[in-house]
Amino acid sequence: MTIQEALQFAAAVGSLATALALVIGIWQITLTRKQALTDFEDDLDREYRNIIADLPVKAMLGSDLSEDEFAVSLPAPYRYVDFSNKQVFLRQMRRVSKRTWAFWRDGIQSNLSRSPFRRAWEQIKAEAQPSFSELRRLEDSGFKSDPGRWHK
């Protein structure tokens, strides 16, 4: 092998090593982004569970609450509505995946169909104009539209 051939071989090996390092770097960035998204979504899941923990089990089962029970528990459904609006906004900003959004959307729709949540949501909508516009828009679509496709 001549010196010129050795130099060409070394240059080819160097190019290959650079390309391989680039692929590994992209792979690491992708894994890091996925892990960061998972951690972010897990934090939101914990926030949801903290809010729900403040509600009477009766409310989670969809049973009606007495006036006193409703009055005492109203801060938790209010926090839930605020949290749900935040979830819609996060999807609108594409901060959560379509898969996660599908779970969240179904959960929001399910919870807002339960009597205590429905009652609180109706009261909040009436008294908090024009707040919670993202959640209102989702509800107006019958929980069908993807906020990730809404124009900002």
Residue 131 domain-assigned (yes or no) = yes
Task: Mark whether 71 and 141 lie in a shared domain.
Answer: yes
44, part of any domain: no
Identify the sign of the CA torsion 31, 37, 40, 45.
negative
45, part of any domain: no
User: Is 46 within a domain?
Assistant: no
Both 28 and 64 in a single domain?
A: no
Do both 27 and 66 map to the same domain? no
Type of residue at 55: L
- Are residues 136 and 113 part of one domain? yes
In a domain, 63, yes or no: yes
From the CA atom positions of the chain, what is the Rg in Å? 25
Instruction: Identify whether residues 15 and 89 lie together within a single domain.
Output: no
pLDDT of residue 79: 92
Question: What is the per-residue burial (b if ≥16 Cβ within 10 Å, else e) of 24-50?
Answer: eeeeeeeeeeeeeeeeebeebeeebee
Identify the pLDDT of residue 128: 87
Q: Are both 124 and 83 inside the same structural domain? A: yes
- Determine the pLDDT at residue 11: 87
| Parent domain of 71 | 54-149
pTM attached to this predicted model: 0.77
- Mean per-residue pLDDT pooled into runs of 10, the chain (152 residues): 87 88 89 86 90 86 87 89 95 91 95 90 91 96 96 69
- Looking at the structure, do residues 21 and 82 belong to the same domain, yes or no? no
Are 68 and 35 members of one domain?
Answer: no
pLDDT of residue 113: 93
Indicate whether 24 and 84 sit together in one domain. Answer: no
**pLDDT at res. 152:** 61
3, part of any domain: yes
Query: Would residue 11 count as lying in a domain?
Result: yes
Q: Do 58 and 98 belong together in one domain?
A: yes
Give me the number of domains the chain comprises: 2
Q: Determine, yes or no, domain membership for 48.
A: no
